[in-house]
Structure formats: structure tokens, C-alpha cells
Structure 1
Amino acid sequence: MKKLLKAILTTVFSLSLLAIAALAFIYKPVVIRSPAMTPTLMPGDLTIVNRLAYSIDEASCTSGFCDGLKSWLGVAPALGDSVLFPHPVTDQLSAMRIVGLPGDRVQMKDGILHINGTAQPKNEFSYRLDKYEPQGPDEILPVCSNAPVNAEERCEQTQFIESLGDRRGHITLDLIEGSEGDDTDEFLVPNGFYFVMGDNRDVALDSRFRRNVDGIGYVRPESILGRVDLILMSSAGKTLLQFGKWRDNRFLKTIR
């Protein structure tokens, strides 16, 4: 009986280790540093990135087993996905939303996103309220619609619901009327590339901006490390250990 119990416990322990290893291989924890995707992703959010959402990047795995998985998965990033990739200029991990697929024509007109000549629905629905104080690991101050704002005062941010194709709508911020990224030339997304934008439209330096001005330009699929699926927890403090700065409305929050 003792031998049987020992065998069962050994098996359970081994399977548990395998499960943990598998989860660690598939899911990557990443702390968001930039406000470019606010309010979807905020500085100080601890996110979970699904590295197998599309395929396996070369840096994650180089074995023959991975080659088989790549051909089996073969799923391409979709319009509206929030993806993680290294910034082409700074190499810092960046999260942005895919708003243009290969061959798409993308343009901003008066703050409205147009894809292939069609304006994407955008409707104002509320103000987001926050304190005007440093946020996240890099202690970045938020941009406010009601600027100028003094320290600790109320920061108002105008929120919109934007819909891409048949996807469920997501929230964007439009904080500065007539900002540089509100009106652009039309971009034709080359084959083999994606066009990405941040949900915080007046703050994000994304595909609307060239790399020589710290923009992102077009994003290659091989540079995409995965899809951001979940906010595990969040802190407005410099570290996640500042318990008094935890955001209690951002635990286990799925990404739209």
C-alpha cells in the first residue's frame, strides 16, 4: 500500500512539474511600462502574454518539436489583437493593437480611424477619472483632457468606444484635439507587415510615426512575441510590491 501511495504521489508531482513547465513555456508575464495602450493596458499592469496564440517565435524554441508545432498552429494575428513585440528603436517590450493587416490601407482623419476607406465606428461614452500622479515603473504622468492639472488633482480623460470590423468594441482615449496623429497620410501596409496603434491615440508613437522619430513603423510578424490576453494584477506604484498602489479593479481582467 505504501509503495502504491508513493508511486501515485510521485506521478502527481511529476505531472504537476510538467504542467508548470508547459504553462511557463506558453505564457509570459510582462509588466507594462508605457501609457500608449491606456486604458486597455496601463503602466504597472502585470499582463499574461500567450506565446502560442499565433506561432512560436524563434527565440522561444529552436527544437524540431517546435517546427512541428509551428506548422500545426499557423494562426495569423487578427485585426484588433493586442500584441507584444520589441520596439524596433529602443528594443523595449511594447504592446499595441493591430489595426491594419497586410494589404490594408490605413489612415487617420480628424481623429477617426479609416481602414480601406471605411471609417471605423467611434462613439464618445464617458470620462475616465484618475489622479494626476506618477504611474507605473517609469513614474509617467498621465495626459489629461482637462489640463493643466496640479499634483493629486482629478485628471479627466475622454473615452471612446471604437469597433474594428465585427470585433467587440474597445476603449480608446482622445485627449488632445488636433494632435499630430489625428490626421495622417494614407498608409498602404506592405505584404508581410502589420500596422499597429496604441489605444491612447495622442500619446502612442506607433505605426503612424517613422522609426527615425521613435515611432514603430510597420511590424514584421516574426517580431511579434505573442498576444496579450490577461491582466493578472496592477499597481500604479513604481513596483508591484507597493500594496497601497494596487488597482483593485484590474485583477484577472481579460483584454478586449
Structure 2
Amino acid sequence: MASKAEGGDGIVETIKTIVYALLIAGIFRTLFFQPFWIPSGSMKDTLLIGDFLFVNKMAYGYSRYSCPFSMCPISGRIFASEPKRGDVVVFRHPVNGADFIKRLIGLPGDRIQMKDGLLYINDKPVKVTPAGQFDETYAPQGPVGHYPRCENAPVGEGGTCIKDRFRETLPNGVSHDILNIEQHGPADNTPVFTVPKGEFFFMGDNRDNSEDSRFSQAVGGVGFVPAANLIGRADRVIFSSAGRSLFYFWTWRPDRFFKAIE
């Protein structure tokens, strides 16, 4: 029979093990990779609702937002590296504190504008070519159960939801898909946005279904994002599930497992 002292020692060792495991996990999450689950359709078809990925936190250095609960005692960024146009980035919203994931479109000093749904960077239109259409089932998606928006609306439950797809090539040669839902969306024509020093301009690939830098923070948008708010770069989808729970194995998307993010 174990003595009370031995029983007490066992409890202490168990607590130590748990504490050490939490510390190691916290250090790993802070310095290297942070898990991120895609909750919305703003980055379709690059990222789908239910995609699970790890964010590379070494890509741009570290700020106060690198730590859980923004607890890092860091002013600005340390070990900073400049992000590249076209990177898919997780950042902290400048106002509401939520983590967002969007594509980096505008660098400091850039002039960004949308004209008739076409992106202009420094007064020049980016190259866009047709890339077929993106089809998905009109049904609740993910844990929240949102329905997708469709170019061919109205669509009945279980019907095919269609969006036009285009291939957009940014000035530095980065190419990616973008989707179009409507011809005259609220952000298809904008004023010129001049990106301030030390800040960035982000957009979702699902252009008509994205709260991003085209909308000011005063109306619930993102606006310009300070460099300190960048958390890391999304490089690869690790796992993907189309269902309301990751335990619904019949809704897993094996073709997206370990898929590189363009």
C-alpha cells in the first residue's frame, strides 16, 4: 500500500507534468506556430470554411500579439521581417481584437483602388484572367451554419451555388484565385487608399464577401493594419472538414490535407 507521502508526491509530480506541458505548448505557440481554424468564407476558394492550418509566427518577427491574450511585453516588433505582397496573413483587428486572415495587397506608400471590380495598385490595373467557375452546395457550412452567397441566387437548399472565378496576378508575380458574386458590390468602386508608413492593406479573395481594408473601422471594416498587429503567415492547410464538427469524418476533405496556400 502506498503511503500518504507517496500519494502526495504523485499528485505533485502530475501537477508539475501538466504545468511543464502547458509551458512548452505556450512557448511553441508563441514562437513558432499558432493553430487557426477558418470560420468564414471571405478567403474562398483559397481557404474554405473548416480548413485548419498553422500560422508561421517566425515569418515577420514578434509583437505583443504573438503571445496568448496579447501578453508579450513588446513595443513594436522584434526580429522583424517585411511581409510580401500576396502573403496570406493572420493579424489582430486594430479595433475589435479578433484574429482575421486576409491577403496582403497594399504595402506602405501604395495607392490602392477598386474600379468596376478590378484592383488597381499604384494606378495600374492588375492582370486578371478568367478561371472558370467555383461551385459549392447551397447548404449550411461549418459550426456556425452560414449559407454561402451565390452569383446565381436564389438557389434552393442542396442546389449548386455558383461564383465566377478569376486568376489575379499581383505586380510581384504572385497569382491566386479570386471570386466574384455581384457586378456592382459595395466595394467594387472605391476611393484611392494611400497606405500609411508602417501599415498594410488587406483584402479577401472572395471579393464580394469580405470585411477588409476597403471598409473603414468606423463601419465595422478593417481599415489599415499596423505592422505590430501582424501575427504570422499562413503557408499550408493541415486538415479540412466541411461538416459542423471535425468528428464528422464523412465530411473531411482529404484532397485539402497538407495543401500549400497560394
The bucket for the TM-score relative to the shorter chain is 0.7 to 0.9
Which consecutive aligned stretches of 4+ in structure 1 deviate over 6 angstroms post-superposition? 19-22
- Name the aligned partner's letter for residue 113 of structure 1: L
Question: 2:63 maps to which residue?
Answer: 57
Structure 1 residues 114, 156: CA separation in 2 closer, same or farther (over 3 Å shift)?
same
RMSD between aligned residues: 2.3
Q: In structure 1, the residue corresponding to 2:234 is in which secondary structure?
A: strand
Q: Distance in 2 between matches of 1:239 and 1:167?
A: 37
Q: Distance in 1 between matches of 2:225 and 2:55?
A: 18
Q: Distance in 1 between matches of 2:166 and 2:55?
A: 25
Cα deviation, residue 104, structure 1: 0.4
- Name the aligned partner's letter for residue 181 of structure 2: L
Tell me, yes or no, if the aligned pair for 1:131 and 1:152 is still in contact at 8 Å: yes
Question: 1:229 maps to which residue?
Answer: 235
Taking structure 1 as the reference length, what is the TM-score of the superposition?
0.85
133, 138, 148: which one aligns with 2:154 = 148
Gaps of 5+ in 2: 1-20
Question: 1:115 maps to which residue?
Answer: 121
Cα deviation, residue 81, structure 1: 0.7
Q: In structure 1, the residue corresponding to 2:187 is in which secondary structure?
A: helix
Cα deviation, residue 129, structure 1: 1.3
Structure 1 residues 159, 103: CA separation in 2 closer, same or farther (over 3 Å shift)?
same
Tell me, yes or no, if the aligned pair for 2:179 and 2:205 is still in contact at 8 Å: yes
Percent identity of paired positions between Structure 1 and Structure 2: 38
Q: Answer yes or no: is 1:197 the counterpart of 2:207.
A: no
68, 71, 87: which one aligns with 2:93 = 87
Mapping 1:125-144, distance limit 5 Å: 125-144=131-150
Tell me, yes or no, if the aligned pair for 1:34 and 1:94 is still in contact at 8 Å: no
Q: Distance in 1 between matches of 2:100 and 2:39?
A: 8
Q: Answer yes or no: is 1:248 the counterpart of 2:254.
A: yes
Cα deviation, residue 21, structure 1: 8.0
Structure 1 residues 23, 63: CA separation in 2 closer, same or farther (over 3 Å shift)?
closer
Question: 1:30 maps to which residue?
Answer: 36
